[in-house]
Chain A
């Protein structure tokens, strides 16, 4: 029992509370749910990753950058489920951060929700993303998944942009 406690202590040191991911620049998070014929993805991207600043836009250039990021995220082809599953994308919902006047903002995230309806959900085995091509400042996407085959976690990177299960 003592050895076990030691192991637990080591783990407790090695692993801080993971449940609520903080805001880390360069890292986004992705929640993946497969329920019956629906594949739902929820993406949270630090604004910094998308446009390079985390405050209200101050120039036309920055406003254009925000609009470009929103447009890039609105493309459902950003995520590619297993082709064999026959998933059809539905309109993307995007929540851009709102800026409160001239108050210096703390952190800001963009939330985007991607929904697919899949003809053969049993064939759904992976989701690939092209998001790293659109957002060069993004170096990691921490993915968490819940589906009929169980739950899991994965790490998507520019070199490994596939979440498979």
Chain B
């Protein structure tokens, strides 16, 4: 048996080029399959982790998912704002426990600027109801003070007391609010949520920035120096959205109806968890299609493996005949061929897993920046292991074909002299 294994290994080595290429094909197919699965689960995970303990997200009337995207993920733009008076009315509603105003629209070197109240730092929850933690410093207290998310601080190398200038709009090179720099007063610990990529300032600071602006551009000839803004009424006129927590969970659907039928202005309230589930329902079809396509690619790879082994049989007629003549039974030949196929599949699957780990490590920062998806480097989950098992089982099935063919070859097959 040992001799047969040794001969089989040597035989495989002599065919290393074809087998190697087949292995690479299988590895790439497996990487694709696992990547689709991992991005699917991690995208859900990171979206779900981003907001916790919020009963309702309230904004102007658009789509529920759109509202979620800009209010929670700071992605995309609001089509409309909600009036400060409506927000006040909502926040003082007897069923409402707390409310956080959110004002978006400015940016700092590609990172979103969020105007909110100082309560945000004590109220906001992510993941499993975790509170925000400080890496250093404290919450903003006055105008022109900023708190940075961990990634903003790290990526741009900011420390406490540094000065930052915000830009108008969400483009990287929008008009600058250069005359009113902000002082960094606090830096938050990493959360793995969009908060990491956010510059937080007070609502009053947002109003102060735009005192001498009209229609998205500075008023020509009017410049209000930073030290005089305190003399103006800095109460916000409108905000982009609000996060709302209720005193009693049982009020949530009633409150949602109340907000959606609010008489003051057209508002939209969504339950964040419900909106995300509805999003998953809507993209489930796309996910299934992607998964099916990558499963097909794996099948093609394995069919290639079977074809390579089958084609190899013709070249190896003589080799197999000599093995038979030396005393290897047909069962052993069958086993040899099948094991070779399974080993190539397993090696391909493991290589694919390795490629996925390296690839996800490389792609993670980009995915985080572009899509807010946190791609964790971790051991394969149960779903991924099931997929890997499926690939190896299919590889076994595909290897049975050449094994069976070799088994059927007669003893004398390779020994008859060629014409």
Contact = CB atoms under 8 A, between A and B. Distances in A.
A150 B273 contact: yes
B207 to A, nearest CB: 26
A146 interface: yes
A11 interface: yes
B277 A153 contact: yes
Interface string B246-277: 00111011001000100000001111111101
Contact of A153 (B55, B63, B278): B278
A63 B258 CA distance: 33
A153 B248 contact: no
B271 A1 contact: no
Contact of A17 (B61, B256, B279): B61
Contact of B273 (A4, A31, A151): A151
Nearest to A8: B76
* Most chain B CB atoms below 10 A, which of A7, A34, A150: A150
B260 to A, nearest CB: 5
B64 A17 contact: yes
Contact of A146 (B55, B75, B275, B282): B55
Interface in A1-30: 1, 3-5, 7-8, 11-12, 14-20
B274 A151 contact: yes
A33 B277 contact: no
Contact of A144 (B63, B253, B370): B253
A35 interface: yes
B198 to A, nearest CB: 15
Contacts of B271: 144, 146, 151
Contacts of B248: 35
Given A15-B63, A15-B279, A17-B64, A8 B69 contact: yes
Interface size bracket, A side: 20 to 34
Q: Which of A8, A35, A40, A146 has the most CB of B within 10 A?
A: A146
A17 B250 contact: no
Nearest to B107: A1
B371 A7 contact: yes
Interface in B257-305: 260, 268-275, 277-279, 281-282
Interface string A37-67: 0101010000000000000000000000000
Contact of A11 (B253, B260, B277, B279): B279
Contact of B170 (A1, A12, A33): A1
Nearest to A151: B273
B62 interface: yes
A14 B371 contact: no
B64 A154 contact: no
B66 A33 contact: no
Nearest to A155: B281
B190 interface: no
A46 to B, nearest CB: 18
B277 A16 contact: no
A147 interface: yes
Interface string B300-319: 00000000000000000000
B218 interface: no
B76 A146 contact: no
B274 A11 contact: no
B278 A15 contact: yes
B64 A152 contact: no
Contacts of B281: 153, 155
12 contacts: A4-B76, A7-B371, A11-B279, A15-B64, A17-B62, A19-B260, A19-B269, A144-B271, A151-B271, A151-B274, A153-B277, A153-B278
A-B pairs with lowest CB-CB distance, top 5: A151-B273, A153-B277, A8-B76, A35-B249, A18-B64
Given A20-B260, A33-B250, A146-B274, 15 more contacts: A1-B170, A8-B69, A11-B282, A12-B65, A18-B64, A33-B249, A144-B274, A145-B274, A146-B55, A146-B271, A150-B273, A152-B274, A153-B278, A153-B281, A155-B281
